[in-house]
A and B are shown apart, each in its own frame.
Chain A
Amino acid sequence: MQLNLLAPEIVLALLGLILLVLGLILPHKGKSVMSAMAFLGLLLAFILSISLFGKEQALFNGIYQVDNYGNFFKILFFTAGFLVILSGESYIKRFDKRCHEFYGFLVFALLGMTVMASANELLTLYIGLELMTISFYILTAYLQSSELSVEAGLKYLILGAISSAVLLFGVSLVYAVSGTTIISEIAQNIRLEPALIAGIILMLAGFAFKVSLVPFHMWAPDIYQGAPIPITAFLAVGSKAAAIAAFVRVFVIAFDLPQFDWGLILAVLAAITIVVGNLIALAQTDIKRLLAYSSIAQAGYIMVGMAAGNTLGLKGVLFYAMLYVFSNMGAFAVATAVEVETKSTSIAAFNGLGRRSPMMAAIMTVCLLSLAGIPPLAGFVGKFYLFSGAIQAGYLWLAFVGLIMSMVSVYYYLMVAKAMYIDSNYESMSEIKPVASTQLALWICLAGTILIGIYPAPLSALAQAAVGLF
């Protein structure tokens, strides 16, 4: 067995433990090395997972699978992790004394995600999921001075635990029917029977909660609003992508049933999610809630590709998940910088940003429009893949719903742009200059969003390699 294939996971586990211990023993002044350590550790894991791209092997009797698909998502998680660390640099001072242990939890959450992306066995997957969500329970409540944050942490804990239970119940039913928990062996050992369908539906509900599909989305807005904003970003991007990674792997490989079309259920859920997410987002006045509902709608788009289930659609899922990191993180990075500056998360706080910081206003506009799917930005190409897949699979109605709603979503994204560019008393406002690390994050997000949009070929080749699995 080649343990070097597990190098990214090993690096992350060690890094997380070291960061926790250092947080205990270092004097407060010396703790500033920890953010640098977290950053470098992630960089190492990132490089390792890139170097492992193209390697395929099943480890530990098939319960852990190193493959392109998993590596694609690992690259995605680490990119998201970097951007969170960079853009959150100025925000985490609010955590006061505990601001450096923060990185330890962040790394553990990342480790959970990588396990989810590579697990080829339902219980391993569950362990990864719990490692991730438990880290997130803590991180969500990290801003102890804020009632909202603590409340959000508690809510997330309760609802998350229930959804985990539902998922686990589904897993147990599937195990009862098939006699195995190895994902790639389930397909040969099942036939259509009521217990299996119940198991599939329960698992679908469990994953739908993590991906925040309507009607399992109720937790998302409150928790996104309450959590510290870098964590909101990480939840919206990383946690969602990890759930999608596991969701796709389990359903496409294990439940390949011709008689039971879970794709249709998913298509309906996706359509409802897109409609509800976008319509509620129209009425939001708080940027975190707006981005929360927008990210619910975005999850709906991603699920369109999975419902289609063909190469174009699945490639779209991976493609979209990756560009979503850049576009959404860009929007959150600007929101973070604005919150640090104005202490407010209402959209009114963006008033006059076009003059106070033209660079941030432009990046916010570009990232939001990419989420809306306006060419030549990345989101458009992603939606093109997703909806080509849907039309190819015969879901023409879904393409209509999705594309019309994505044009409706332009309305609320442009409301933010309007706030930034229309201003009455801009003379009274000072310039905003974000710190260097935030600027770096912003430029990375901008470059990712535009480059993927105008030259999608490299990412599409990467996604193509990753879906070779199915």
Chain B
Amino acid sequence: MNIPILSLTLFMPIIGAIIIMILPRERERAIKYLAAAATLISLVLSLIVAFGYNLSQGGMQFVEKIPWTPDLGVSYALGIDGISIPMLLLTTLIGFSAVYASWNIKDRVKEFFSLLLILIAGVMGTFVATDLFIFFLFYEVVVIPIYLMVIMWGSTKRVTKEYAGMKLTIYLLIGSAFLLVGLISLFVMSSAINGAPSMDMMVLAQTDFPVGFQVFAFALMAFGFGTLLSMFPFHAWSPDGYAGAPTAVSMIHAGVLKKIGGYGLIRIGILMLPAGAKIVAPIIAVLALGNVVYAAFICLSQKDLKYIVGYSSVSHMGYVLLGIAALNLVSLNGAVIMMFAHGVMAALFFAMIGNLYEKSHTRNVDDFGGLAHQMPRLATGFMIAGLASLGLPGMVNFIGEFTIFVGAFSTYKVITVIAVSGIIFTALYILRTMANVLFGPRKAEWDHLEDLKGPEMVPLIVLGAAIILGGIMPFTLMDFISNGVGSLIAQAGFLQMGGIL
């Protein structure tokens, strides 16, 4: 009898959330420790899964399957392959760090941590589900806790937190409405073709959908997942949402939640609708340019730290979209590792900004200066995240960007050349921000700020280590990813078809 290790990983935060709901609200320390323990167990379990994954065998492993709703062909099916392992690790890493980044929450501690744990479980569920229905279930579970967390613990700066929360929620839900139409059509169409209803991703991937239908369904998915991935021009929710959200939500949202969009496009879009993907991909590639270049320009004129990181994450998602749109082994590898890289980087950035904001009550770049004097550890965190963001070799982001450009150049020459310019703009705004916030003469008004200490160090250590280890030992992740992408491409049949590649 196998231990259902994926279910355990998935349900650990939910169990934690339920226990927290039962605990009396005064026991704040116990609640925090419980949340930390639940996410730590998930992290350890996900590491066990990653090390236990048999690369030479490949494909879906640690499979669990229980029939759930027979007349819809739904089964509670979990499994993990080379593409989902980095995503699962990303979720558990950021989830664990997010608990520590929220250590200083004082108001409604009980509600905060139970919602946070539900959110983490929801994100994790999308990465381990191999049933389309279960995938979508988890996909939408995450939206509502985020709304509640933004309006209860968010911050009002340029826009009110109520506005930011609602904007984020409505954007994502409208996107998911289109996605849902696509999924339901997929379900209805496949039951007509196969003669039996099924929501199993593998069965759907083997179903031969007509090309016209594939284009229709893939376009809907590109819209739905693209909104979540903040694809230009559907990105407007992202900077406002991150700015309004509490630190932990910004971390999870920018770090992993967005990546569900990319993951969905690869896992559901390309795997099940390869012909549609081929036809729609050039449009995505052009829109990706909007992300990379346009968002980078906006970054140049931002003054609020969270907006800078918010727009920069929109810009970086352009690379991911480009990698997905190029539809070859190298570019897809790059897209997946870029999602991981951007995830840890953005989460570290938001953790540092959140910490600074909590102590100084401002996020305005012009107010700061010379913070490296007072807060050397925080400055280290900022530097690691910043340098990763501009793609410095030795950081995991470099691997992602480089791989994407190499892969995409063979498909879209002009677009890739323009996209590479994004690196220059990124360097410009990141270095300028770093210089204005961290360096320069010491400012006496910030002498009262305390540096990171105790629990506040956890996000820095965990996420910083992931960035650097991934950068100097890229093969740790790359082996999984190219294994997963390779079997996906073999399944989708691009190589056999040759086609426009």
Interface residues of A (CB under 8 A from B): 315, 354, 358, 365, 369, 374-376, 380-381, 384-385, 387-388, 391-392, 396, 399-400, 403-404, 406-408, 410-411, 414, 417-418, 421-422, 455-457, 460-461, 464
Contact = CB atoms under 8 A, between A and B. Distances in A.
B181 A399 contact: yes
Contact of B140 (A374, A387, A418, A464): A374
Contact of B151 (A385, A404, A421): A421
B148 A417 contact: yes
Q: Which 3 A-B pairs have the closest CB atoms?
A: A407-B173, A403-B177, A375-B137
Nearest to B143: A374
Interface of B: 68-72, 111, 133, 136-137, 139-141, 143-144, 147-148, 151-152, 162, 166, 169-170, 173-174, 176-178, 180-181, 184-185, 187-188, 192
A418 B140 CA distance: 19
Given A400-B181, A457-B69, A414 B147 contact: yes
B147 A460 contact: no
Of A384, A403, A406, A407, most B-chain CB atoms within 10 Å: A407
A103 to B, nearest CB: 36
Given A369-B144, A376-B137, A414-B147, A455 B185 contact: no
A464 B71 CA distance: 9
Contacts of B151: 418, 421-422
A411 B174 CA distance: 11
A414 B151 CA distance: 11
A410 B173 contact: yes
Contacts of A399: 181, 184-185
Judged by DSSP, the binding face of B is helix
B336 to A, nearest CB: 26
Contacts of B181: 387, 391, 396, 399-400, 403
B170 A392 contact: no
A388 B141 contact: no
Given A358-B111, A388-B187, A404-B174, 6 more contacts: A374-B141, A375-B139, A384-B72, A384-B133, A399-B181, A417-B148
Nearest to A415: B166
Contacts of A411: 166, 170
Contacts of A384: 72, 133, 184
A403 B180 contact: yes
Contacts of B188: 388, 391-392
Contacts of A369: 144
A380 B137 contact: yes
Contacts of B147: 414, 417
A52 B337 CA distance: 59
Contacts of A403: 177-178, 180-181
A387 B141 contact: no
A357 B170 CA distance: 27
9 contacts: A375-B141, A380-B140, A381-B69, A391-B184, A399-B181, A400-B178, A408-B174, A457-B69, A460-B71
A464 B197 CA distance: 15
B137 A457 contact: no
Given A410-B169, A411-B170, A457 B70 contact: yes
A414 B69 contact: no
A396 B180 CA distance: 12
B177 A418 contact: no
Contacts of A358: 111
A382 B178 CA distance: 17
B174 A457 contact: no
B123 to A, nearest CB: 14
A1 to B, nearest CB: 35
A149 B281 CA distance: 60
A421 B148 CA distance: 8
Nearest to B170: A411
Contact of B176 (A381, A407, A417, A456): A407
Given A404-B177, A414-B166, A422 B152 contact: yes
B140 A375 contact: yes
A422 B161 CA distance: 11
A354 B69 CA distance: 34
Contacts of A461: 71
Contacts of A392: 188, 192
Nearest to A387: B184
A415 to B, nearest CB: 9
Contacts of A407: 170, 173-174, 176-177
Nearest to B147: A414
Of B68, B148, B169, most A-chain CB atoms within 10 Å: B148
